[in-house]
Amino acid sequence: MKREDFEPDDLQGMLIAYLDNQLVGQEKKDFEDLLSRHEDLQADLEIYKITSSKLTELFDMDGVETPLSVEQKIRQASAFGESVLQSSQTPETERAIFEPSEKIASFAAAKEKRSRFFSFQGITQMAAALALGVAIGPGLMDQLKSSDGDKKYREALKLRGTADLPEINDTSAELADRTIGVSELIAPKTNKDGIFIVRLPQTDSAEAGEASNRLSVGEKIDIYFYPPRDGQVTIKYEGFDKVGDLQLSETLVQETPSTELNDRKYEVPSFKVPNVSKLDIVVDISISDSELITYEKSFVVN
């Protein structure tokens, strides 16, 4: 390995690779040999080593603790998450043991049922529910009763003031500049109309635009929206895996809608949900060079 074979920048990059143990085998030996012949490279390596170790020390954040108020909120949310999870694991038969209509035929049966009621799981659930009730009080319990599934998580996790959070169907113009937390069901940026999805076969109750943000892999869906004005339409599908990496990016349609279309309703050909964890659908309507309307909608794919 000769120094002249490399650009100076490449050599510096190799120093980092060497420092982080990315060089192995013969390549590592050759580089060490090169290093031993050049003191300036050794000095650079020393700078990188010390500066890197200080950065690690700095961001190890030794002694920095989570504020108690935040910790309490996290534990409340955790207890709530657990109670939901635990109850979802309990079969119907377990949940309905002491229904009034049930007849206990023998003492042995009654004893068995009592022991089932006082099972470890039952006690765990009761303890979790009790702890949750005591810890968070009636105010938060009211929030948890909300019919909006995502909102209850957001409320339970409120680490700071969220009084100004917009509702998910908030149509204010500044919506794009505000975080709406986990329940980004639909986020039209400039118009109250959005993207609507009908599952096939069509049923009135299955409109995802109304209530659901969940789709299933392989499910066939119809998509439609109401363009407020004519323009060039681009529809983009983006699929992400569990950790949020982009797995699919596809632009399906590019054409100009006509006002003669069924009351300006613009329909996209049926689409099969791909094998991803999250699917984003973005519709851009380009009115002119300076005017662009964007609809976005995110779906969790099961």
Partner 1 sequence: MLALMQKSVHIRVMIVSITDEVVAIYPKLRVLALSKTKNLSDAEDIVQDVMAKVWENPTKIEQAITELGTSTEAYLKRAVINRFIDLKRYGKRFKDDEDFAEKLEESVVSDPTRRGLLLRDFLKHLTKIGDGCRELLIERGMGLKQAELAEARNLTQSAVNKQIAKCLKQLHERSGGIFHEA
Give contact residues for partner 1 (rule: CB under 8 A): 9-10, 12-17, 20, 22, 44, 47-48, 50-52, 54-59, 61-66, 70-71, 74-75, 77-78, 80-82, 85-86, 89-91, 94, 116, 119-121, 124-125, 150, 153-154, 156-160, 176-177, 179, 181-182, 187, 189, 242-245, 294, 296
Which residue, 190 or 267, is less far from partner 1 as judged by CB? 190
Which residue, 133 or 149, is less far from partner 1 as judged by CB? 149
CB of 172 to partner 1, least distance (A): 15
CB of 265 to partner 1, least distance (A): 25
Which residue, 12 or 232, is less far from partner 1 as judged by CB? 12
CB of 294 to partner 1, least distance (A): 7
Amino acid at 144: L
CB atoms within 10 A of CB 187: 19
CB of 244 to partner 1, least distance (A): 4
CB of 202 to partner 1, least distance (A): 29
Which residue, 165 or 206, is less far from partner 1 as judged by CB? 165
Residue with tokens 């309490």: 72
Which residue, 162 or 256, is less far from partner 1 as judged by CB? 162
CB of 141 to partner 1, least distance (A): 16
CB of 20 to partner 1, least distance (A): 6
Which residue, 23 or 206, is less far from partner 1 as judged by CB? 23
Which residue, 183 or 198, is less far from partner 1 as judged by CB? 183
